């Protein structure tokens, strides 16, 4: 999920409030940096002279020291670097509005709308709308169908327990997550499992 965190004392509320401010966009060449730059372009937030490359943890340190105003993560939740920041000092997740998310999704179809559930970080008492990218388990197309069926069965059975431990898994039991708008076709073994469970009528 796309997550921008700033100190509460900064009085920032929205990602668009970052105009003219130094921000940590993620490690150079990473998916986190790419998503951050997509966002900044879509929201017309200047990049040149304001963006800093760095890891989420080191970015959190820059925010704590005042050398940056926000740090971005495209990751599962909670992101350890952001959790570190929110634990060290009162922090907030910056918001997108619905129109901004739709603009980002229109520019990058591989992303999907999602929500950072309340309680993901210390002091976060509201759900925060955002976007993310699906994390997929990819296998060879010629992998044994029975084996893929078993893998899918075990992963699906583990989701309730995973969602208790990691908030980012909370929505993955929604069949739209694993059946719709996928960047790769479903393996026949996975499709057979979903069909056997009555989760899809797809043939």
Give the model's pLDDT for residue 17.
97
Q: Count the Cβ atoms, other than its own, within 10 Å of residue 24.
A: 30
111, 132 Cβ separation under 8 angstroms: yes
Residue 203 has pLDDT above 60, yes or no: no
Reported confidence tier of residue 109, pLDDT bands at 50, 70, 90: confident
- Output the pTM of the full model: 0.79
Q: How high is the pLDDT of residue 28?
A: 95
Instruction: Say whether pLDDT at 169 is over 90.
Output: no
Instruction: Report whether 42 contacts 96 (CB < 8 A).
Output: no
The first and second tokens of residue 181, run together, are 């708008």
Torsion of CA 8, 12, 16, 21, to 10 degrees: -100
Centroid of chain to Cα 180: 18
pLDDT at residue 103 in the model: 96
Question: Which pLDDT value is given to residue 202?
Answer: 62
């Amino acid at each position: 999920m796309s997550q921008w965190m700033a100190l509460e004392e900064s009085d920032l509320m929205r990602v668009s409030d970052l105009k003219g401010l130094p921000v940590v966009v993620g490690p150079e060449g990473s998916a986190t940096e790419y998503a951050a730059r997509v966002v900044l372009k879509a929201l017309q937030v200047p990049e040149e002279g304001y963006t800093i490359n760095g890891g989420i943890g080191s970015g959190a340190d820059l925010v704590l020291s005042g050398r940056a105003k926000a740090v971005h993560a495209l990751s599962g939740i909670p992101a350890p670097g952001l959790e570190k920041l929110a634990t060290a000092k009162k922090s907030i997740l910056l918001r997108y509005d619905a129109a901004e998310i739709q603009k980002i999704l229109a520019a990058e179809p591989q992303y999907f709308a999602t929500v950072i559930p309340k309680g993901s970080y210390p002091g976060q008492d509201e759900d925060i709308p955002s976007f993310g990218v699906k994390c997929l388990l990819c296998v060879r197309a010629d992998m044994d169908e029975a084996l893929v069926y078993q893998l899918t069965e075990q992963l699906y059975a583990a989701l309730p327990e995973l969602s208790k431990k990691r908030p980012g898994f909370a929505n993955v039991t929604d069949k739209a997550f694993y059946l719709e708008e996928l960047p790769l076709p479903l393996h026949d073994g996975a499709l057979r499992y979903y069909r056997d469970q009555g989760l899809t009528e797809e043939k």
